[in-house]
Amino acid sequence: MVNAIEFNGVSKRFGSHAALRSVSFTVPSGSIFGLVGLNGAGKTTLIKSLMDFSFPDSGEILIFAQPATESMARGAVAYLSERFAPPAYLTGLEYLQMMSRLYGVAAPDNRRIEDAALAIDLDVKYLPKRVGSYSKGSGQKLGIAAVLLSEQRLLVLDEPMSGLDPRARACLRAQIMAAQRRGATVLFSSHSLADIDELCDSFVVLHEGAIRFIGAAAELRSRTGEATLDAAFLRVIREPSSA
């Protein structure tokens, strides 16, 4: 089976700062895959490179064996940005209708849109309201609902848990697992190692733009000898770099 994503020697500098240092790994199709790292580790730069919003200085990125720069490759992706900000002048319903059309979903009816909102704990009473009146959490739920409506083969979520209350976080975890059951691949970044531990088949630890670990949570705990994933993460980023 073809991999959903391949990063091959991806490097990116911003002036004298190396944001990514020859990053290489694959995301198998049908997996839930995580990106973990401290602030500034390179997670968002890597995701933006995948989405063709940022251009690597070197290396190659493939989506289902096609260059990520090709529109056909990006057409398989539904994306939620780290700082999601839907147009304030649209209502929630208008935004979800618009995104459904952009994702090629044929004439979604209001019931289907409401179901997507409820799946992420967004009360349907907000849908007729303008997005500018939404709280941060409600706005985040709206963005996730649009991704759920897309039913794309690859879901790329940059810090999707940001701003969500505990009930919405539980709903999102359930929807990520439901997406995998229907055959989708999910790549998401998170600062919550509990979410990584619960959801991910594998994950990457990025530190200062370089990979410090690739594998499953149990492998990292075993490698470091730590009982918790938080402690294992801290140990691995404190190890001397091999670069």
pLDDT digits (tens, 9 = 90+) for 166-206: 999 999 999 999 999 999 999 999 988 999 999 999 999 99
**Could you tell me where in the chain the CATH 3.40.50.300 domains are found?**
1-76+156-161+187-243, 79-152
Q: What angle do CA 40, 43, 46 make, to 5 degrees?
A: 120
Compute the mean pLDDT over every residue in the chain, rounded to the nearest whole number: 93
Instruction: State both tokens at 152.
Output: 């794309």
The answer to whether residue 74 scores a pLDDT higher than 90 is: no
Q: How confident is the model at residue 243 (pLDDT cuts 50, 70, 90)?
A: low
More confident residue, 106 or 173: 173
Q: How confident is the model at residue 107 (pLDDT cuts 50, 70, 90)?
A: low
Percent of the chain with pLDDT over 70: 98
The confidence score (pLDDT) of residue 108 equals 66
The confidence score (pLDDT) of residue 85 equals 84
Please choose, from the candidates 26, 52, 139, the residue with its C-alpha nearest in 3D space to the C-alpha of residue 90: 139
Please choose, from the candidates 186, 208, 188, 159, the residue with its C-alpha nearest in 3D space to the C-alpha of residue 22: 208
The confidence score (pLDDT) of residue 84 equals 84
193 touches 37 (CB < 8 A): no
Q: What is the mean pLDDT of residues 231-238?
A: 94
Q: What is the mean pLDDT of residues 87-99?
A: 93
The confidence score (pLDDT) of residue 72 equals 86
The confidence score (pLDDT) of residue 112 equals 87
Q: Which of 21-25, 112-116, 167-171 has the lowest mean pLDDT?
A: 112-116
| Other Cβ atoms closer than 10 A to 133 | 12
Q: Which CATH class is domain 79-152?
A: alpha beta
The confidence score (pLDDT) of residue 194 equals 92
CATH fold, domain 1-76+156-161+187-243, is Rossmann fold (3.40.50)
Instruction: State both tokens at 103.
Output: 């994702």
The answer to whether residue 232 scores a pLDDT higher than 60 is: yes
Q: What is the mean pLDDT of residues 16-36?
A: 96
Q: How confident is the model at residue 49 (pLDDT cuts 50, 70, 90)?
A: very high
The answer to whether residue 160 scores a pLDDT higher than 60 is: yes
One-letter amino acid at 137 equals G
Please choose, from the candidates 150, 222, 213, the residue with its C-alpha nearest in 3D space to the C-alpha of residue 186: 150
